[in-house]
Structure formats: C-alpha cells, structure tokens
Amino acid sequence: MGFKDKHECWCGSGEPYETCHKNFDKKLNEFKKKKCILPPKKLIKNKKQIEGIREASKINTMILDAVEKQICVGMTTEQIDQIVMSETKKLGGIPACLGYEGFPKSVCTSVNGVVCHGIPSKKVVLREGDIVNVDCTTIVNGYYGDSSRMFKIGKVSDNANKLVNVTKECLDLAVSKIKPYSHLGDIGYWVSKHARENGYSVVKELGGHGVGLEMHEDPFVSHLGKLGQGMILVPGMVFTIEPMINEGRAGVLIDENDGWTIYTEDGSLSAQWEYTLLMTETGLEILAK
C-alpha cells in the first residue's frame, strides 16, 4: 500500500507519516533483516478503524451477556437465535452470520459433540447436563466484533465441566503469553500445550482469523504451533483466538445434509471459547468476549 502523498501515512489515518507509522516501519525493518515473516500492511488497522471495531465488539459482548442471562434448561437453540436477533437490532447492529455464505441463522449454537457452526433449531432443546457454545458476530457501522462463550446447562458432569474450564484456560493462557512481535505459532503452542497436558486434543482444521473490516480476514490463527514460527504479530493487528478442544480424538466431520454443522468424529464432547483481540504496544487487549 502506497502513500496518498509524501506526507500522509499509508494506514489511511490521514495523519502525517512522520508522527503516525514512521517509527513502526523502522521497527518492522529490524525484523525484516532477521528474515521474519512480516504482516501485510493491509492487516494493520488505523485509529478510526480500531475504534469502530471496539464499538462493534462492545455490542457483540452485550448480546452474549443477554444470552447468558436467559439461557436455561428447556430452551431451544432457535430461541437463542431469537434473543441474538432481538438484542442485535435493539443495540443498532446487524447479525453477521445471517446469510453469510448461505448460513440461515443469526448465530451458531453448538451443543455437546458439535464442534462449531451448529444451526439453531426448534428441534434442539437444551437438556440438563448439556454444554453449548454460542458464537456471535456483529456488524456495527461496517465494523465487526466476534466472540463465543460456552454455557453449562443445569448441573453438568465433571468431565464436561473440566473440558469447558480447560478450554477457557487455553484461551486465557495464550492471551497472557502473546506480546507485541510474538509469532503466530506461539498462539498454537500455548493453546495445544495446555490442552494436551489435560488429556485433550486440538482441532486443526479450524482456527481463529483476522477480523474487523470483514468477518474473516488474514491471518489464519492455528491452535497448533511452535514457538518462534510464523508471521510476527504487531500493534494494530486485530484477530480472534478461538480454540476448539475435543475430549476425545481431534478428528471432525461435517454434516452432509446441512453443509455447516461440524461434529467430533468420535462423538466426544467439544468446547470452544473466542475473543476478538487487538495487539497493542504492551500486549493483547480483549475487545469482544
């Protein structure tokens, strides 16, 4: 991406390059000399974009808060979808999932052995002991916020409780470890390390992603990785970390009938938590949770 003129920064902020991203570029050049993989400049958000993403993320979090207050035994996943649609409209947003590549609902609801992309239905009733992931993405003024939470329905088994808790720990551990100029592979290292230490497997086919100006942007964020490998993560990048952790084997399969729902291959339980994150000069800031 070039400058609009010799004075204006390449990020589109409208600010002078000298005071906007000049020092940033000097820092990147140091990493370039070390043969590091640098992010394309299109992945670096400017201040206006970050504020827009922050507002969309705030509303996305509020929508999941509303779900958390109402979700209960006997509720259908269709009713969860209705809560999301109602709250999204009330808060001035648009449900990003609705119509995305043909997805028929406003939110994804994934129960027990469903890894992700579960389609809300009047036929799916939440039972005592179920665990369910509600994955919500919201558009506000053209910007996107994206997060998901696990909910325990009534009293759940010790196994289900541990899986849900450890999956959240995987996410929080990665967030605490990732600093400016960490590598993309560091995320997968910390997620998979904690999951495996607890006897779980990590889904490899699915992962996090850049987000903010679109629902899915580069880079792909794998939850399997090695320290010091992959693209460096620099201030201004916005992306999700959303580990999908299986109680049994890592294999998954997609429902041939609806083309969306992804299940654990062995029928075991699966859990997922997701944040939208902004890389700052000091570390990761959670925008949506």
Residues 45-66 pLDDT 10s? 999 999 999 999 999 999 999 9
Rounded distance, CA 214 to CA 61, Å? 18
Q: Work out whether the CA dihedral 153, 157, 159, 165 comes out positive or negative.
A: positive
> What's the average model confidence in pLDDT over 144-154?
98
Residues 224-275 pLDDT 10s? 999 999 999 999 999 999 999 999 999 999 999 999 999 999 999 999 999 9
> Six-digit token pair at 19?
């005071």
Give yes or no for residue 7 having a pLDDT over 90: no
What is the model's pLDDT at position 5?
46
Q: Which residues pair with 137 in a beta bridge?
A: 146
Q: Which residues pair with 138 in a beta bridge?
A: 95, 145
Q: pTM score, two decimals?
A: 0.94
Contact indicator for 108, 100 with CB cutoff of 8 Å: no
Rounded distance, CA 26 to CA 29, Å? 5
What is the model's pLDDT at position 6?
64
**Residues whose CB is less than 8 angstroms from the CB of residue 65 and which lie 6 or more positions away in sequence, other chains included:** none
Contact indicator for 177, 186 with CB cutoff of 8 Å: yes
Give yes or no for residue 3 having a pLDDT over 90: no
Give yes or no for residue 1 having a pLDDT over 70: no
**Residues whose CB is less than 8 angstroms from the CB of residue 158 and which lie 6 or more positions away in sequence, other chains included:** none
Q: Which domains does the chain have, with CATH numbers?
A: 36-288 (3.90.230.10)
Rounded distance, CA 110 to CA 237, Å? 28
Mean pLDDT of the chain: 96
Rounded distance, CA 16 to CA 241, Å? 33
> Six-digit token pair at 207?
């992962």
Residues 63-95 pLDDT 10s? 999 999 999 999 999 999 999 999 999 999 999
Contact indicator for 234, 28 with CB cutoff of 8 Å: yes
